[in-house]
Structure 1
Amino acid sequence: MTWQDDIRAAAARIEGHVQKTPVVTVTGFGLGYPLQLKLEQMQHTGTFKARGAFNTLLSQDVPAAGLVAASGGNHGAAVAYAAHRLGHRARIYVPEMAGPAKVALIREAGADLVVVPGAYSDALEQALAYEAETGAMQIHAYDAPATVAGQGTCAMEWEDQGLDADTLLVAVGGGGLIGGTMAWLDGSRHVVAVEPETSCALNAALKAGEPVDVEVSGVAANALGARRIGQICFDLAQSTGADSLLVDDDAIIRAQAALWRETRQLVEPAGATALAALMSGAYRPAPGEKVAVLICGANVAPDPLQQRSF
């Protein structure tokens, strides 16, 4: 079985459980050329992560002890949502930096939520301990074949919708989404990994020749804040020749504002990170090169409507 076989199987498995998210072409953002966007932030729970969560749960037997996951927030919300829809217990560990919007999503899905002092790695440590103690099934946020195959269905779906690009720009945290994208495309299109300067696990790994630990901070850290890139993503980046570049927090914030101003798409900083590479000039397309951006991450903090009463 190839990665593409696994992704096709995942797509068939999760059909009816996830949304088919729209694709739009926009001329704006000060770029002077049309840009195709896939609006994956319109997925259940606001990110692509529902794809990997459903694929994992539908392809494996879930023990009586239920599920456990560590998350910066978005993965936990997706696991909690999928577990609730499929009738499983779930315990989710998140770091304090997860943010109120993501914590609220997890609670609303009925999961047992534990907020852990520190960063994602601290939440993962406690999740692993809970797994060992109870026999609960661990769903890794990014470095597991079923997760990566599930996330790869996003790129497969995009090609089915008429993806018109030579180059795709994708934001990177732990590497599940871009790993799935690289796995599906298998070098057929140019993939550019975009990370914040202060949360750059893939970039650091490619420079070191192996996954290494990095310090994590910045406006997108609660979604792109993995301290070490997943081995699956690292291997795929090396084998497919993906490029890696960095953007600063100011560029991410400007891209986030531009998405709202020009398209009325409200995304969290992580969701705007790939666009920031184009707007800031960190990535400059060649003449005639067609580029596309994967937009993902709708869980803005604070939730702009949280205090409203309807």
Structure 2
Amino acid sequence: MPHPPLTPGDIKAAADRIAGHVRPVTVAPADSGNVLALEFMQHTGSFKARGAMNFLLAHREAGTLPDAGVTIASGGNAGLACAWAARANHVRATVFLPENAPPVKVARLNSYGADVRLVGTRYDEARAACAEFARESGALASHAYDHPLVAAGAGTLTGEILCQVPGGLDTIVVSVGGGGLFAGVATAALEAGVEVVAVEPANCRALNAALAAGHVVDAPVDSVAADSLGATRASGTALAVARRDGVRSVLVDDEAIVRARQRLWDERRLAVEHAAATAYAYEPRPTERTAVVLCGANTGLADLT
């Protein structure tokens, strides 16, 4: 069943709900009047903590947290956030990941006390196993991106960014996998009169493919950033938001992503994952005032020189 449209009111409710539970984003100056939103400094190392906390707190308020706890399928960051939020709310978390998930993320999941289950090599395989577990156990099924509470939590970033940029912004730039971050950030940004650029790897382009087809479709997953951006399909909510005026879909190749990640390290000593560097690979228009969301930093350092 399709989710109802995401609204600015949903994001305001999320901001009120998670206040004091998550870290406000740090905004730092970049080149030519642009700024960087350092959301990788968030709990668990990515923006996903916002949506996970909003999801669990909303269910706690409604009295719908089961004894079996919560379960999620994730390429890593959403699972980390779910496990962290579950521990904070004193409920169990069972997290399904592909077998090729980065070891650094698996280790952190274990540190949060999650029951970690590695299944298959693609997100869809982990998702199917998670759905079967939820049916059998009665655990509350969360989602890495395709849930209104998760997207609304992610969207709380926008207000925090805008209130720290007194001169205003033209554009917020975000990386896109399944579209939860994009849908939330864009819903709030467009309401404030700020445009949004949705950046995807050229060979990992679920949202761009959906826009081209006119509906959600399966898309190939083949990118250096696939561990975080490797959704086979974008959410229907993300597609609906992406069709609005003020949104641009941009593709960047893996070479540009790798260069952007290295540049963040060389010039700023910021070690981020390839998903965050995907947004940074976007080249602003002349005089365009941008805020680039650096969404996560659950990465190893061995390949940064």
CA deviation digits over 1:57-107, x for unaligned, max 9? Answer: 000121111100000000000000110111000100000222111111111
Pick the aligned partner of 2:93 from 90, 95, 119: 90
Structure 1: distance between partners of 2:232 and 2:6: 28
**Aligned twin of 2:287:** 288
Structure 2: distance between partners of 1:96 and 1:158: 35
CA deviation digits over 1:257-285, x for unaligned, max 9? Answer: 1111111111011111011122xxxxx41
**Further displaced range: 1-10 or 65-74:** 1-10
CA deviation digits over 1:110-144, x for unaligned, max 9? Answer: 00000112200100000011111111101111111
Structure 2: distance between partners of 1:161 and 1:274: 20
Percent identical among aligned pairs is 46
**Aligned twin of 2:25:** 21
**Aligned twin of 2:56:** 57
Pick the aligned partner of 2:122 from 99, 112, 119: 119
- The structure-2 alpha-carbon separation of the partners of 1:241 and 1:106, relative to structure 1 and needing over 3 Å to count, comes to same
- The amino acid of 1:125's aligned partner reads A
Contact 1:72 1:98 in 2 (8 A): yes
CA-CA distance at 1:34 after TM superposition: 2.9
- TM-score normalised over the length of structure 2: 0.92
- The structure-2 alpha-carbon separation of the partners of 1:2 and 1:116, relative to structure 1 and needing over 3 Å to count, comes to closer
Structure 2: distance between partners of 1:137 and 1:204: 31
- TM-score normalised over the length of structure 1: 0.91
- The 5 A counterparts of 1:200-219 are 200-219=205-224
- The amino acid of 2:173's aligned partner reads L
**Aligned twin of 2:175:** 171
CA-CA distance at 1:51 after TM superposition: 0.2
- The amino acid of 2:273's aligned partner reads E
Contact 1:100 1:301 in 2 (8 A): no
Structure 2: distance between partners of 1:51 and 1:125: 24
**Further displaced range: 184-193 or 39-48:** 184-193
**Aligned twin of 2:201:** 196
- The structure-2 alpha-carbon separation of the partners of 1:215 and 1:296, relative to structure 1 and needing over 3 Å to count, comes to same
CA-CA distance at 1:302 after TM superposition: 6.0
Contact 1:174 1:224 in 2 (8 A): yes
Pick the aligned partner of 1:242 from 234, 241, 247: 247
Pick the aligned partner of 2:14 from 10, 20, 27: 10
CA-CA distance at 1:241 after TM superposition: 4.3
Contact 1:25 1:35 in 2 (8 A): yes
- The amino acid of 1:208's aligned partner reads A
SS of residue paired to 1:195: strand
**Aligned twin of 1:78:** 81
Contact 1:182 1:240 in 2 (8 A): no
CA deviation digits over 1:126-185, x for unaligned, max 9? Answer: 001111111110111111110011000011211122263201211000001011011112
RMSD (Å), alpha carbons: 1.6
Corresponding pairs, count: 293
- In structure 1, runs of 5+ residues without a counterpart are 28-32, 279-283, 305-310
**Aligned twin of 1:104:** 107
CA-CA distance at 1:303 after TM superposition: 7.5
SS of residue paired to 1:150: helix
- The structure-2 alpha-carbon separation of the partners of 1:275 and 1:2, relative to structure 1 and needing over 3 Å to count, comes to closer
SS of residue paired to 1:96: coil
